[in-house]
A and B are shown apart, each in its own frame.
Chain A
Amino acid sequence: MTDTLLGILHMSIFPGGVFALALGFFFKGLDRRLEARLQRRVGPPLIQPWLDAAKLLTKETMIPKTACRQAFLLAPVFGFTGMAVCAAFIPIAGVYNGLFNMGDLLVIFYLLPIPAMAIMLGGSASSSPFGAIGFSREMLMMLAYETPLLMILLSVAMLVGKGLAGGEWGAEFSLLKIVAWQQENGSLGLNPSMIPAFIAYLIFLPGTMGVPPFDIPEAETEIIEGPLLEYGGPLLALFQITSALKTFVVLGLGVALFFPGVISAWWPINLLWFILKCLVLMVVSLTLVKSATGRFRIDQAFRFYITVPVALALCSLILVWVM
């Protein structure tokens, strides 16, 4: 009973729910501001994502007559719930140990595509032709970036499993044990056999977050925001909240997998250290890329994802096997 209550608390307040949302909105605001500064503009205030959400809450909700009503209304809730639960699985080294410590890497792998699925569901339920195009593009993108992600997770799990089993074959899918192992044996991001996988993870980030050059499913100039076209008001706000939570999840997962080091025994310092590492990850893989690129075509993006990051992750897998 207490475990259930504690789990709900972790999903709704810390680190899922409120905390993840605040951090995600902070990341998003900083991202927009930094992008503007990189393009020598002034840029919006740091609290812009909060203002956007507040604005959307005051707007009226319009539901198209031809839309499938239940699916249209449920899709954003579905995506939000998936991400709020997923955020509770992200361990913060020295602060929080994750929801449970057995095979949570696999659970995260299954929960991560839920926002994309919610966008697909909403897009196809909106009965708009642009939604249908966005649906097919989102589907292709998902197939493209989930493949390297699976291989990255597998190479990390095999390396740590091998280390824990003392050179024998083994795979370790507990994120807590992966973090603990790295604190004893050094971060995986500095391990030569893991560097290709880390680069592949950096490439995976803009695809999963749907930012340029991979914002193909929601291209506002081609298919006028695709699946989100018919959404407005509080429902759109829920999609933005989901996206903020996802920012926290993918950055936090990257830090936990590759750089989970701690610098102090006191938890607030560790928390700040974690946030700092997330920020560096975000600037390198999202902001810099986003402010300097246009948009790929869907076939280009698909070909890119199933060649470059897959090859890099495969390199890591082979290196783990050889070394």
Chain B
Amino acid sequence: MSLDTILKKLSVRSPWLFRINAGSCNGCDVELATTACIPRYDVERFGCRYCGSPRHADIVLITGPLTTKVCDRVLRVWHDIPEPKVTVAVGICPISGGVFREGYSIKGPIDRYIPVDVNVPGCPPRPQAILESVVLARSIWLKKLGLEA
């Protein structure tokens, strides 16, 4: 195994998470905070860290139905995240629009604009489901690096 492969294999054990709120009602955001703040669901045990800057992010967690106002900003922030990145859509809103579906101000679903790797349905999803999505995102990240999980 070359040094490069070893580094890549080790790298997925340090996924830094970044949250984008695309017009969410904050329900999913509270659940995301739960995974970090409540000892029972501790997301840090996978080596995760919620980071403040999109430049540091590896896994993007997007919540909300992508409203007209926020669409452009979400896309700009998403393009600021360095490759390789994995996108996770948290909650039913980014998947289908949820209760906001077909609203006048909704531009979603989100995969019209951004390739989504993992969907976490739920309104809001359970913290366990979010943790599972992070673990799944790690194996997708490994595939993106050209290695088998």
Shortest Cβ distance from residue B124 to the other chain A in the assembled complex, whole angstroms:
21
Question: Which residues from A are CB-within-8-Å of B58?
Answer: 55, 59
Interface flag for A41 (CB, 8 Å):
yes
For residue B145, which residues in chain A have a CB less than 8 angstroms away from its CB?
58
Of the stretches B10-18, B66-74, B97-105, B115-123, the one at the interface is: B10-18
User: What A residues does B47 contact at CB under 8 A?
Assistant: 44-45, 48, 51-52
Cβ-defined contact, A36 with B52, below 8 A: no
Look across to chain B and name the residue whose beta carbon is closest to the beta carbon of A39: B39
- The chain B residue sitting closest to A58, CB to CB, is B11
Given contacts A39-B39, A41-B45, A232-B82, contact A51 B14 (CB under 8 A): yes
Among residues of B, the one whose C-beta sits closest to the C-beta of A49 is B14
A71-79, A190-198, A220-228, A306-314: which lies at the interface:
A220-228
Main secondary structure of the interface of A (DSSP, over half): loop
Query: Within 8 Å CB of B50, what residues of A?
Result: 220
CB distance from B141 to the nearest CB of A (A): 10
- Number of A residues whose C-beta is below 8 Å from B? 32
Distance of A44 Cα from B49 Cα, bound (Å): 10
Task: Tell whether, in the assembled complex, residue A225 and residue B13 are in contact, meaning their CB atoms are under 8 Å apart.
Answer: no
- Is the CB of A231 closer than 8 A to any CB of chain B? yes
A40 touches B39 (CB 8 A): yes
Instruction: Kindly provide the distance from the CB of B54 to the nearest chain A CB, expressed in whole angstroms.
Output: 8
Q: How far is the CA of A254 from the CA of B74 in the complex (A)?
A: 47
Min CB distance, A125 to chain B, in Å?
A: 15
A42 within 8 A of B: yes
- A262 interface hit (Cβ, 8 Å): no
Contact A41 B44 (CB under 8 A): yes
Find out whether the CB atom of A54 lies under 8 angstroms from the CB atom of B44. no
Write the nearest CB–CB distance from B100 to chain A, whole angstroms: 27
* Interface status of B126 (Cβ within 8 A of chain A): no
**Cα–Cα, bound, A225→B55 (Å):** 10
Given contacts A229-B53, A236-B56, contact A60 B82 (CB under 8 A): yes
Contacts of A221 in B (CB 8 A): 52
Q: How many angstroms between the C-alpha atoms of A220 and B55 in the bound complex?
A: 13
Which residue of A42, A60, A228 contacts B83 across the interface (Cβ within 8 Å)?
Answer: A60
Establish whether residues A54 and B39, one from each chain, have CB atoms under 8 Å apart when the complex forms.
Answer: no
Verify B55–A230 contact, CB threshold 8 A.
yes
Q: Residue B111 at the A interface, CB < 8 A?
A: no
- Is B51 part of the contact surface with A, judged by Cβ < 8 Å? yes
List residues of chain A with CB under 8 Å of any chain B CB.
32, 36, 39-45, 48, 50-52, 54-55, 57-62, 220-221, 224-225, 228-233, 236
Closest 7 CB pairs of A and B: A220-B52, A224-B52, A55-B11, A232-B55, A41-B42, A42-B45, A55-B14
Q: Apart from A60-B83, A230-B55, what are 11 other A-B pairs with CB-CB below 8 Å? A: A36-B44, A45-B47, A51-B11, A52-B14, A55-B14, A55-B58, A58-B4, A62-B55, A224-B52, A225-B52, A228-B56
